[in-house]
C-alpha cells in the first residue's frame, strides 16, 4: 500500500456546511471509494479552510483517482462539492488535489 497525502482549500464561508456533508457521506460514495482502492481515508480541516487528506492506496494516487473517475456517483459528489473549494479553475476537487511528498514515516 502507498500512503498518500494531499491538500485542497475549502472556502472560509463554507466550512460548516462542508463539515455537515461529511458527517453523512452517501453510502454509494463510500462503497465506490473502497472499491477503487481508498483505504484508511481521513480528511483534516484547519480553521482557515486548508484541507489535508490522507489515505492508503492499493497501487498509487493516480490509479485511485482513475478508479473514482469511472464511478458515476463520484461525478455527482464532485458536482455537489465543487462550490465549497477555492481555486479549482472550473474543475472538480479530485482533479486539483495537490499530492504531498512523504518525507518521513514511523511504524
What pLDDT score does 107 carry? Answer: 87
Taking 3-state DSSP, the helix, strand and coil percentages for the chain, each rounded to the nearest 5, stand at 45, 25, 30
**C-beta separation of 5 from 55 below 8 A:** no
Q: How far apart are alpha carbons 67 and 36 in whole angstroms?
A: 5
**Confidence category of residue 76, pLDDT binned at 50, 70, 90:** very high
pLDDT at 94: 81
Q: Strand, helix or coil at 34?
A: helix
Q: Does 98 score more than 90 pLDDT?
A: no
Hey, which CATH number is domain 2-100, 3.30.70.100, 2.40.10.10, 3.60.130.10, 3.40.47.10? 3.30.70.100
Taking all residues of the chain, what is their mean pLDDT, rounded to a whole number? 93
Which sequence positions are flagged as catalytic? Answer: 22
Mean pLDDT of 69-89: 91
pLDDT of residue 80: 94
pLDDT greater than 90 at residue 10: yes
Helix, strand, or coil (residue 37) = coil
Amino acid at each position: 500500500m502507498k500512503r498518500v497525502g494531499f491538500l485542497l482549500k475549502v472556502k472560509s464561508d463554507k466550512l460548516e456546511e462542508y463539515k455537515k456533508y461529511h458527517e453523512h457521506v452517501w453510502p454509494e460514495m463510500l462503497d465506490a471509494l473502497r472499491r477503487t482502492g481508498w483505504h484508511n481515508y481521513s480528511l483534516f480541516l484547519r480553521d482557515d479552510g486548508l484541507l489535508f487528506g490522507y489515505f492508503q492506496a492499493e497501487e498509487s494516487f493516480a490509479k485511485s483517482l482513475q478508479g473514482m473517475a469511472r464511478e458515476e456517483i463520484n461525478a455527482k459528489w464532485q458536482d455537489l462539492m465543487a462550490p465549497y473549494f477555492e481555486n479549482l479553475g472550473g474543475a472538480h476537487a479530485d482533479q486539483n488535489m495537490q499530492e504531498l511528498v512523504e518525507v518521513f514515516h514511523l511504524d
